[in-house]
Amino acid sequence: DTAVSQTPKYLVTQMGNDKSIKCEQNLGHDTMYWYKQDSKKFLKIMFSYNNKELIINETVPNRFSPKSPDKAHLNLHINSLELGDSAVYFCASSRYSYEQYFGPGTRLTVT
């Protein structure tokens, strides 16, 4: 069974559109994260949720809005997509600050 899953795996869309990426974990973890990995493979934290509460919101444009309907899900909605949003987005989960389990990633391409 997949521990952390994300959908879709690939997302190609035009500038100005609104899109969502979904993430689910079945590990019973209390904390979930969204990371952005750029073309140089640099991985940067965007958001972190603990028990459905937002605890980290890095300097991310407010066009990005995370939503956690329950502890097992953390979705990422992006409004008015820009070319610079093209990247691979990873969802992850963990228990406390221990090892994180990553999803397979969503490759977003904005044209």
Which residues of the chain form contacts with other proteins (CB under 8 A)?
4, 31, 33, 35, 40-45, 48, 50, 55-56, 90, 92, 94, 96-105
CB of 16 to other proteins, least distance (A): 28
With 0-12 / 13-18 / 19 or more C-beta atoms within 10 angstroms meaning exposed / middle / buried, residue 102 is middle
Write the single-letter amino acid at 3. Answer: A
Are 88 and 108 contacting, i.e. CB atoms less than 8 angstroms apart? yes
CB of 45 to other proteins, least distance (A): 5
Name 62's Cβ contacts closer than 8 Å, sequence gap at least 6.
none
Q: Tell me 71's DSSP state.
A: T
CB of 77 to other proteins, least distance (A): 20
**7, 6, 29: which is closest to 93 by C-alpha?**
29
Q: Nearer to other proteins by C-beta: 48 or 75?
A: 48
CB of 13 to other proteins, least distance (A): 20
Are 26 and 80 contacting, i.e. CB atoms less than 8 angstroms apart? no
